[in-house]
Structure 1
Amino acid sequence: MARVLQPKDRDKTAERLLDSSMRNSYDPDVDIDWDAPLVEGKSFMPEERVSLYGTALWDRLSPEQRLELTKHEIGSITSVGLWTEIVLMQLLARYAADLDPRSPHTHYALTEIGDETRHAIMFGKAIGRLGLPAYGPPRVVRTPAKLFGALIGGPAMFASVLVVEETTDRLQRSMLDDERIQPMIRMINRIHVVEEARHVRYAREELVRGVGSLGRRALELHRLVTAVVAHTVVNVLVHPAVYRAVGLDPREARAVALANPHHHETRRWMAEKIVPFLTEVGMIGGPSERIWQKAHLL
């Protein structure tokens, strides 16, 4: 694929993405009716993608409890998504600081920061509108992530961004035309999917350009960083406290979810697009591939 991509092509891609951003972007304050009532009985995510689906604990839940769990799980995923958007903004700002300010490539990086700012606000409003806690990742993840945001760049940065964006994108795309899902959730997903498609194109091309210049030892380091990010993110998407909201013991329910074969399959399904790409360009392989397997992404 893109072993043929050259740095000079960056501006051509950026010009297309800037044009698309000008023609096809959203304003969540205008395009989402935040005052519209939720539709009674509609779910907040597909039940078959809930972490406990297919287990004895799931079978014990009433329809009302299952509906409530979909709300809290999507709220947890959204909280983590909001946090990763902010980390991405930090990475992009540091990346753009070293670029030529006259370049369309730089202009698109700055445009993407603007997109991510709107997305973070949109996610925050959604969590508040649903009356949910700001679950997010635990401190044990937030603290080293600050170091990641300050130090990591190059292929590991772009690969990590792609892991986060493309796994959640798969879940969001599955809800766009699903009439079982709350209209507000579907509109949020539509906005995010349309705008993230540009971000994915930008990151994929830059990853391909960067990975070809890595020596063997550097490649293994970038692979390791990416694998650790992937493992960490998928493991914090569902906060244990979501289970307490439906009367379950968080420790027991999390243990059941982590051992749930159906949940493992959902993780692999979410990663179906990004894993082959990262494998093709050489960012999955070597000793760190075991981390992907432990995360049930391979």
Structure 2
Amino acid sequence: MSAPARGAEAGPDAPGRERTAQRLLASSAKLSFDPLKDVDWQSPPVPGRYYAPPHHLSLYGTELWDTLGEEQRIELSKHEVASIAAVGIWFEEILMQMLLRHAFDRDPTTAHVQYALTEIADECRHSVMFARMISWMGVPAYRPNALAHNLGRIFKATSTHSQTFGGTMYVEEILDAFQREVMNDESLQPLTRQVSRIHVIEESRHISYAREELLRERLGPVRRRWEQLFVGLIVYVATVSLVNPRLYAAVGIDPAAGRRAAAANPHWRATKVRLAAKVIGVLDRAGLVGRTNRWLLRAAGVLA
């Protein structure tokens, strides 16, 4: 009998991996979207409608919020959605490279690798969709700061299995929780609801793939602490990058003052805790929440 290909799926987890991938490939074939055709990019924004629920905005409930008129609040919602979308593109670009590294060492004839490649194709379309939405809004593509951007450059090239799928779980789950509320709120802009719906449907498969991979990994006590630290850094950098302080200038607020107000805002912190609750629970089950990184999760504002 010939030896298996380098990186071929083997061991007790292989049948489970293949069953999961086959199910996800079947779902992808049945329900996938082309955002260039399935989003109505020709429709203009509807006057008077928010781009995200007001209670999800970083300044909601603060004294600065009270100084804003209704048009300024709607404008703030537009810029915050654009900032979140730009961070989504940034992380999806990182994720695509991590998935390529994951596939590179494995047997391409397996369903497991073929689903990884299918997910990369999904993420390419999502990045284009988010970029088109930012252009449709007519606002800047707010990118993470230079430190976060260069940490991402290192992370995409060096991440371990737990860091790859733990980071993926965190970013995808927190965006999923946010976008589920957007897509179900009929008072919001129709186009942001369309984009959210497409992303939620397709990301549900990505989340299943990442969650099962994450929970399969067996970590010893020393390795677990190392992985906790790096996953904590990923959570911190991704979370603080969601709302770029530069966007506050669009509604006449000094960016430094806006950043301080958001950081001190108990409502914004409670919102982040609620959006992240499900994924923090999954990371905990995987052994990736502990005393090594709880301080980072609290600093990110996602742990009560």
TM (normalized to structure 2)?
A: 0.94
> Which residue does the alignment assign to 1:201?
208
**Which residue does the alignment assign to 1:281?**
286
Equivalent runs, 1:43-122 vs 2, <5 Å: 43-122=50-129
The corresponding residue for 1:238 is: 243
CA distance in 2, matches of 1:156, 1:82: 19
Task: Return the offset for 1:45.
Answer: 0.4
* Identical positions, percent: 42
Output one character per residue of 1:155-208: Cα deviation in whole Å (capped at 9) or x when no partner.
121011110000111000011120121000000000000000000000000011
8 Å contact from structure 1 (residues 159, 226) kept in 2: yes
1:43–1:67 contact (8 Å) kept in structure 2: yes
**Secondary structure of the equivalent of 1:283?**
coil
* One-letter amino acid matched to 1:176: M
1:295 equivalenced with 2:295 (yes/no): no
The equivalent residue for 1:227 is: 232
Q: Does the residue aligned with 2:58 lie in a helix, a strand or coil? A: coil
Question: Which amino acid is the alignment partner of residue 150 of structure 1?
Answer: A
Deviation at 1:291, TM superposition (A): 1.0
1:278–1:284: 8 Å Cα contact kept in structure 2? yes
Distance 1:6 1:219, change over 3 A: same
Deviation at 1:30, TM superposition (A): 0.9
Q: Is there any run of 5+ residues in structure 2 with no aligned partner, and where?
A: 1-11
Please report how far the alpha carbon of residue 288 of structure 1 lies from its aligned counterpart in structure 2 after TM superposition.
1.4
Quote the Cα distance in structure 1 between the aligned partners of 2:68 and 2:48. 15
User: Residue 98 of structure 2 contacts residue 156 of structure 2 at CA under 8 Å; is this kept in 1?
Assistant: yes
The alpha-carbon deviation at position 8 of structure 1 amounts to 2.3
1:76 Cα offset (Å): 0.5
Look up the match of 1:154. Answer: 161
**Residue in 2 aligned with 1:20?**
27
How far apart, CA to CA, are the structure 1 residues paired with 2:227 and 2:133? 34
Q: Which residue of 2 aligns with 1:38?
A: 45
Cα separation, 1, equivalents of 2:48 and 2:186: 11
* 1:128-277 alignment, distance < 5 Å: 128-210=135-217, 212=218, 214-277=219-282
Question: Displacement of 1:293 after TM fit?
Answer: 1.5
The alignment yields a C-alpha RMSD, in angstroms, of 0.9
Question: Normalised by the size of structure 1, how large is the TM-score?
Answer: 0.96
Q: For the residues of structure 2 that align with 1:56 and 1:180, how far apart are their CA atoms?
A: 25
Letter in 2 for 1:288: N
Over 3 Å off, 4+ runs: none
Give the aligned residue type for 2:290: G
Partner of residue 127 from structure 1, selected from 116, 125, 134: 134
Indicate if the aligned counterparts of 1:77 and 1:238 stay in contact, CA closer than 8 A: yes
Q: Secondary structure at the match of 1:272?
A: helix
Listed as ranges, the gaps of 5+ residues in structure 1 are none
